[in-house]
Amino acid sequence: MTIDPAPEWSPEPHRFLEDLEAKPAALERLAGSTDVATAVAAVPRLPRVLFLGMGSSRFAAEDAARRLRAAGREAVSEYASAVELPPPNPELLVVAISASGKSRETLAAVERYQQTAATVAITEDIGSPLATACRHAIPLVAGREAGGVACRSFQHTGLVLRLLESRLTQRPLDFAALCQQVAEGTADVLDRRPEWLPAFIEALDTQGVVGVIAPAERWSCAAQSALMFREGPRRIAVGAETGDWNHVDVYLAKTTDYRALLLTGSASDDEAVAWLRRRGSTVVTVGSKHEHVALGLDHVHSSDTRVAVHVDTLVAELIAGQIWAQQAGA
């Protein structure tokens, strides 16, 4: 297989912000897509699942693999670039994720499994090299992201994975209703920007470190949110699981100008907030309000983790997008 070189990256902040504005409408299209439902229904239910991806695709896959394991299925998520991957097996379902369908690493990894395992592509372009290389292809229905940054495609990847999980576990899911709830939460965050966005930008706009901290069930939100700060305005940002933060990234708060975006809902929230307050760090929250944090935001479905995991990244996307636009004079 010939793999094309990576396309030249030319992101535009104002177009990225337009991509974010288009999220609710894109979610409405996903909710009503028969193509997605038909493609997922054709995927074989095999006992083992391997997710492959890079970047945002891998972030979403990590959460999906964790949920499948919690449901009693054998599932792992791996870097597509890894040398040591599970061996091909007729009982293995390989789910390769790439919004563009052109990820070099993911294409190369899929080659290992084409002759033995069942392969599934999750991609925006069902005519892409990845979709062609796999036996099955599931469309994302996210639309072209003119800003050059994965935002709608990340959100749709998470939702399509939810539907695939339902297929594999045979647990019912009202996919259209879930997409509608995510659209409602997304629209709520967008509509209420004048209430929260200026203060959040002031709190998190730093040349130091932005830490995005989230429960394990929303780890993909932390990872993707941190990526938004790095990819757009080129700020130093790190995503962490809340309990693990108390053992690892807590040390950054001691020695740097550390600003924290805390997605609440972990049993470790209180400990993390106590450390951050002790070290004089700025903290803002998304989700249920914390008694020791003055600045916070919730949305209409913040209390429903199943929905929030597909909404909360928008907060960091909007903050990073505005900082990026200000830097560019857009």
Interval 234-281: pLDDT, tens = 999 999 999 999 999 999 998 789 999 999 999 999 999 999 999 999
Q: How confident is the model at residue 2 (pLDDT cuts 50, 70, 90)?
A: very low
Mean pLDDT score across all residues of the chain: 95
pLDDT tens readout for residues 165-221: 999 999 999 999 999 999 999 999 999 999 999 999 999 999 999 999 999 999 999
Beta bridge partners of 238: 211
Average pLDDT over residues 4-31: 84
HSE-CB of 3 using CA atoms within 13 angstroms: 15
Residue 141 and residue 30 in contact, taking contact as beta carbons nearer than 8 Å: yes
What would the two tokens of residue 132 be?
A: 């062609």
Distance, CA of 127 to CA of 14 (rounded, Å): 28
Residue 185 and residue 300 in contact, taking contact as beta carbons nearer than 8 Å: yes
Q: Which amino acid is at 93?
A: L
Phi and psi for 96 in degrees, rounded to 5? -100, 125
Q: Which amino acid is at 4?
A: D
Distance, CA of 150 to CA of 146 (rounded, Å): 10
DSSP-based three-state secondary structure for 302 = coil
DSSP letter at 73 equals -
What would the two tokens of residue 325 be?
A: 């636009």
Global model pTM greater than 0.85: yes
Confidence check: pLDDT of 9 > 80: no
Q: Sheet containing 296-297: which strands, arranged edge to edge? A: 236-241, 209-214, 258-263, 282-286, 296-297
Backbone conformation region of residue 148, classed left if phi is above 0, alpha if psi is from -120 to 50, else beta: left
End-to-end CA distance of the chain: 41
Beta bridge partners of 190: none
Please give the domain boundaries of the chain with CATH numbers for all domains.
13-181 (3.40.50.10490), 193-328 (3.40.50.10490)
